Chain A
Amino acid sequence: MSLLQIEGLGIDFGGLRAVNDVGFSLKPGEIVSVIGPNGAGKTTLFNMISGIYAPSRGRVVLDGEDVTRLPPHLLARRGLSRTFQNLQIFQSMTVLENAVAGHHLHDRGSVFADLLALPASRRRTRASEASARALLDRVGLGRACQQEAGSLSYGALKRLEIARALALKPRVLLLDEPAAGCNAVETEEIDHLIAQVADEGVSILLVEHDMKMVMRISNHIVVLDHGEKIAEGEPAAISRNARVIEAYLGAQATEVQNADG
């Protein structure tokens, strides 16, 4: 039984067919990567799945429920969370507050208890903070808790965004280039983190340019080119696939020409 099912998803921007008829599925605990040359439509696909864009065609089914075109906050409540390639962080909050914000989805208390700071409300606050700290330790930001998020390095912000997404206790996690801008050590840490999270049963959909990382951790790879799915399969099979090699090498050959010219 697949947890997330993408069926014939497509979107047009004006006359431009940005993504067309893309379909695949994720089982619980599976890591699926979406790869493809720049401009292939990977982030657009992510934006449709996570409710940022409304797809023109196709369906997104989460655990048997059609969630196509649901806004992001309702998807978050149904257990789908994501990170962004270009970061969506509460810049003027502290690192801890960012992670705590992710927890609030699961904490529902009465407004009056909060206003009067009753013990129940304070207990809840302490509990969210404790689990936020645990998550921050896990992504290696435990010591940066009280820093303003805006002051962190790009790599650290990437990890903070993952921590906040994990705080929502998602069933499906979409990661858009989690290792971009990270050094080799950080990339390896993120690598381990993703594998660990998947081991806990969370399905992970990944867009990533670091091919070594993709080949190492993916169970399944979907390849996009010009908005269409051109191949799908296990990493070993994908790395031998003629159409995939052409899509990438074709792009590379043009780059080489441009560089020469």
Chain B
Amino acid sequence: MPEFLQFLLSGITVGAVYALVALGFTIIYNASGVVNFAQGEFVMLGGMITVFTYAAGLPLPLAALIAILATAAIGVALNTLAIAPARGAPVVSLIIITIGASILIRGATQLVFDKQLHRFPAFSGDTPIAIGGATILPQSLWVISGAFAIFLLLWLFFTRTLIGRAVLATANNRVAAQLVGINTNFVMTLSFAMSAAIGALAGVLVTPITLTSYNIGLAFALKGFAAAMIGGMGNPKGALVGGLLLGILEAMTAGYISSQYKDATAFIVILVVLFAMPQGLFGSKSTDRV
């Protein structure tokens, strides 16, 4: 039983990171219908920029803040330089652009920084906390509460605020959104900034546990994508549940079967979900008029 609890706790920690990545997917998807495969690079940038600003002598909170803001700026640049000029192109082309952007960001990071693995100290020390025979790192608690806090803020943002609803309206029908006075270019810029900042936050929170390097982005992008698909693309609740579910399943597979099959779980689950309920757990059914 303590074994099970241990797997559960580590699953929730990893799941919380996947949830944060999936929440990043959710925002850009909600605004534009685009699945941004550069989302994982935002996670990597958050960690890497923190590592190097911290090494340069800045206090850790300030280094983290700079990393999040810089990543948000890179997100905005991605939209302005690559996505916005291609507006009107089919969504598939835009998705391919994001894949290209992710390769570019990975390559640039390798040149600007290096190819080593890095970490910075955990926020509240490395002494494990014992819970019912299992242990959890204080940093894991940071990761988990970070994911829940961001989920709550996003949920309120999309359901309660005017600008959040403007994001949804833009996704639903861009022309109609402009007709009712929504500045759709601003909505897109804001979405990329928020997405990138959330990705970077995930990177900052998780680096003390998993370490970071220029090439960790792709794995996060794929897992986050799987999580978002399981939960139903576009729904913050789905992103959270999907992320946690995926994290727990992975930890259980690694614990009870073999860590060799850990990554396979994600993709088996995504296949099963897509066959059984293509809209995901919380996705809304879409019907097109013919």
Contacts and interface: CB of A to CB of B under 8 A. Distances in A.
A60 B52 CA distance: 54
A90 B178 contact: no
Contact of A114 (B160, B172, B173, B182): B160
Interface in A88-117: 88-93, 101-102, 104-105, 107-109, 111, 114-115, 117
A180 B222 CA distance: 47
Nearest to B174: A88
Helix, strand, loop or mixed for chain B's interface?
A: helix
A50 to B, nearest CB: 8
B29 to A, nearest CB: 14
A59 to B, nearest CB: 21
Contacts, number: 77
A73 B181 contact: yes
- Interface size class, chain B: 20 to 34
B19 to A, nearest CB: 21
A89 B177 CA distance: 9
B258 interface: no
A33 interface: no
Interface string B154-188: 00110011110110010011011111111110000
A72 interface: yes
A79 to B, nearest CB: 10
A104 B166 CA distance: 9
A22 B287 CA distance: 41
Contacts of A73: 177-179, 181-184
Given A167-B180, A168-B180, 12 more contacts: A52-B175, A73-B179, A91-B172, A91-B173, A92-B284, A101-B177, A104-B162, A105-B180, A114-B162, A115-B160, A117-B160, A165-B179
Those 8 A-B pairs whose CB atoms lie nearest each other, nearest first:
A76-B181, A72-B178, A105-B181, A88-B176, A114-B161, A88-B175, A90-B172, A73-B178
Interface of B: 156-157, 160-163, 165-166, 169, 172-173, 175-184, 284, 286-287, 289
Interface of A: 52, 71-74, 76-77, 81-82, 84, 88-93, 101-102, 104-105, 107-109, 111, 114-115, 117, 121, 150, 164-165, 167-168
